[in-house]
Amino acid sequence: MSTARSTSARDVIIACDFPSREQLFSFLDLFGESRPYLKIGMELFYATGADMVRELKNRGHKIFLDLKVHDIPQTAHNTMRVLRDLDVDMTNLHCAGGIPMMEAALAGLTRDDGTRPLLIGVTQLTSTSAETLRDQLLITQPMPDVVAHYAANAKTAGLDGVVCSPHEAGIVHENLGEEFLTVTPGIRFADAAADDQHRVTTPTQARHIGSDFIVVGRPITAAPDPLAAYQRCVKEFVAE
């Protein structure tokens, strides 16, 4: 069973944002015997359910279950009690729920023997621009300050790390230590479009900034050769 880890090791997580089991496995068949780390988000989880997660674990994949729990503390606690039995490697919640919610979720995720998946908090989505933060969410502080504050709350609540853009990973580590994990989406190759992301960077840049995990979707899943794109991403991010 998974346990929260205390040391950092870089890894590339593929965002499997597919609408069906069939499309997911057609994609994974391209990887042969390789078992990359996978992110299962709301679209696929709601379409296929918990059995899909169990099947992927049985096949040997590490799983980041990306459901972004955000509710009152008791509901967050009860939800995590359900998710803990899936034996995923990582799951998450929204830091915007506050410290009591994060503490309750962590308690719910922890099994009777003390083991649990990694729990990370979403600070601000990489699709959120500074203008959206100010004009729609009425948060007037600069994005790096907001992310750093949310991350500090997550650490106070006992979480293992946060989801942030690569641009804020260095700030998070500087303020909260190297052991506090940064999981960073918004990754694009230097020769690719940003799509709907605003705060993006390349795998190499993310490595230099200090990301612990990068989450990569369309640059791999929509590539003409997904395996080659994944291998390129690993080479650029994991290489010393």
Lookup: tokens for 157: 């609540």
Lookup: tokens for 177: 């230590």
Instruction: Enumerate long-range contacts of 109-113, CB under 8 Å, 24 or more apart.
Output: 109/80, 109/81, 109/83, 109/84, 110/84, 111/1, 111/84, 113/1
- Say whether 68 is catalytic: yes
Strand partners, 216: 14
- Which residue is associated with the tokens 């909260």? 176
Residue 123 and residue 119: Cα distance in Å, rounded? 13
Residue 19 and residue 35: Cα distance in Å, rounded? 20
Q: Which of 39, 68, 155, 235 is catalytic?
A: 68
Catalytic residues, by residue number, are 68
